[in-house]
Structure 1
Amino acid sequence: MSLEKLGWNKYFEKNFQPYLEKGFCAARVMTQHKGNYIVCSEKESFNGKLSGKFMYNADVKKDYPAVGDWVAIKRINDTDAIIYAILPRKSYFARKLVISGGRKMKNGILVGGNIEEQIIGSNIDTAFIVSGLDDNFNIGRIERYITLVRSSGATPVILLNKCDLCNNISDYIEKIDSIANGISIYSISVLNNINMNIFNKFLCCGKTIVFLGSSGVGKSTIINYIFGDEIQKTNEISSSNGKG
């Protein structure tokens, strides 16, 4: 697989140049678990381990590789490689962690504890916020996702799935327009192949996309449609909680 199909573009090429001149290879982090990484280069995947110098210089969790990061590696055998550096991130999703001390309520406000960021995904170009046009629709939830995506540096796009089940799509779009501030909104139906060609403009080499949304909105079904294969398990929607 080419680096471009993994999301490589001119931004990363420019930032990798100093490492290329020193004989490093570029790879993207596919999975991460307790200091163990799977990284994918242009030709193959490796089990990645951090170099001693990398760990010595890393002060906080944000300094460590996360899924989506581009890294500079050197292979040590057919299956293993050493990670020496992370390329600057274009965007990232993070969660706040309390690393020391305790938090408590004081006058209705959470105080105490030292906070740091943990990166949970990086270098995303487009984040699709998926909402179902059924009982799942929640304008407050969509607004929270918009805030999350904008703070990450990615571009939000709203997908209103299951449009075949809705007779008043324009009413839902009008509600979202009031909070979206120019964000693109598309109504689609995976099962009935309605407006699914909108992905053609987003699925291209050098770009990375993600899907956000609550359980049952159709994220896995959309991904399976794009890949043309059952790569994500899907379930029937529960009649009791509306989740997949």
Structure 2
Amino acid sequence: MNKLMQYGWNMYWENKWNKEERSQHKPGRIIADHGQKYRIFTEEGEVWGEMSGKMQHTLQSKGIYPAVGDWVQLHMLEGEGRAIIHSIIDRKTSISRQKAGVKSAQEQLIAANVDVLFLVTSLNDDYNPRRMERYLIMAWNSGVNPVILLSKADLCDDAEMKAAEMELIAPGVPVHVVSALENMGKDAVTGYLKEGVTVALTGSSGCGKSTIVNWLAESIEQKTQGIREEDSRGRHTTTHRELFLLPQGGLMVDTPGMRELQLYDDDGGGWEQVFADIETIGERCRFTDCEHENEAGCAVLAAVLDGELDEKRLQNYRKTQRELQFQIKKEARTQRKVNRKDHSAKEPVRRKSAFWNSRISEE
């Protein structure tokens, strides 16, 4: 298992591994997702893998598929450099969002078994604290430790001021100002890249994620593209998710840039963590069920008037709250449809008995 330890295998996964399957299957970690096929690292090196027919049938109804970072049970096809995936070992963490362009509640898994999530935003015209609040909700709900990276510091004259602004909206979350071009902040970032630790990067298109991967890997692991100067927006550079082993010993997952981040759920209480300051102020409201809209004695509205609270932050508080409430309702509707479909499939076909048929013919 020495080679697998480089890719994060440890006693936690050893205890999770199904001992009864050891004689038939071997563990591996998905390092790249190419749709129906996956690149997987095993004790024997890299192999191509695909799901067994049974696994595809089982997971299709649940809408859950293997993701980059997953540990899986494999049946190795000797001499072919291929393997069949039979199951996913229970995930430790999972980073997900609501799948874009889908009306029903549908989770899109970004990466699995991540320890640290770098939330990247560039210090150009695309800099947006409100967007970062959404990324923080996703991070806390995923069970990972978020770290904010303010990239392209060479393009900004007030980087430290913006870092202070980020620290205000994310108390306790590390914030680092970095520039790959000027080699700024590298020591702080590499401190997270310990052997066996999996780090993922996420952020909007063109924020510099692939450049950061190349900078830390000290090689051209990922292709990069420039941004559109007229709006500081980037083009999609990374087209699929991939996990890289870095020279520092850590592992890094690069993900395609997001045009928008639709929140999937709030099982981890991420929304309350991100807006803990508003929740604390809200404890001073006259009414315990105050919604901070136009109620008399609302301490939150008073805090906005006094300059204690940014009005835009309050607006995002309301917006993300409504979005998550809507998402919960949508997920419940989707689940009811699935339950009805399962019930219909299990409903026995009712046939008239031979006795009843004979009575009908006699009549």
TM-score by length of 2: 0.58
Which residue is equivalent to 1:167?
A: 157
Matches of 1:127 and 1:45, distance apart in 2: 25
Which residue is equivalent to 2:12?
A: 11
Amino acid paired to 1:31: A
Cα drift, residue 237 of structure 1: 2.8
Q: How does 1:142-161 map to 2 (within 5 A)?
A: 142-161=132-151
Which residue is equivalent to 1:195?
A: 185
Percent identity over the alignment is: 34
1:81 and 2:83 matched: yes
TM-align CA RMSD: 2.4
Q: Which consecutive residues of structure 1, in runs of 5 or more, have no partner in the other structure?
A: 104-112
1:61 and 2:51 matched: no
Query: Is the Cα contact below 8 Å between 1:61 and 1:119 reproduced in 2?
Result: no
Matches of 2:229 and 2:129, distance apart in 1: 21
Q: Which has the higher contact order (CA 8 A, sep 6+)?
A: 1
Amino acid paired to 1:90: K
Matches of 2:98 and 2:184, distance apart in 1: 38
Structure 2 counterpart SS, 1:209: strand
Query: Is the Cα contact below 8 Å between 2:147 and 2:173 reproduced in 1?
Result: yes
Change (3 A) 1:167 1:49: closer
Structure 1 counterpart SS, 2:17: helix
Decide which of 122, 125, 129 is 1:139's aligned counterpart.
129
More helix by share: 2
Structure 2 counterpart SS, 1:173: helix
Cα drift, residue 128 of structure 1: 0.6
Change (3 A) 1:55 1:234: closer
Deviating more after overlay: 51-60 vs 6-15? 51-60
Q: How does 1:1-244 map to 2 (within 5 A)?
A: 2-19=3-20, 21-58=22-59, 59-62=61-64, 64-78=65-79, 79-96=81-98, 113=104, 115-244=105-234
Cα drift, residue 140 of structure 1: 0.7
Change (3 A) 1:34 1:174: closer
Q: Which consecutive residues of structure 2, in runs of 5 or more, have no partner in the other structure?
A: 235-363
Change (3 A) 1:161 1:95: closer
Amino acid paired to 2:63: K
TM-score by length of 1: 0.84
More strand by share: 1
Matches of 1:233 and 1:35, distance apart in 2: 23
Cα drift, residue 19 of structure 1: 5.0
Change (3 A) 1:140 1:206: same
Count of residue correspondences:
230
Alignment deviations for residues 14-53 of structure 1 (CA, whole Å, 9 cap, x no partner): 1115256434211012233453322221222222232344
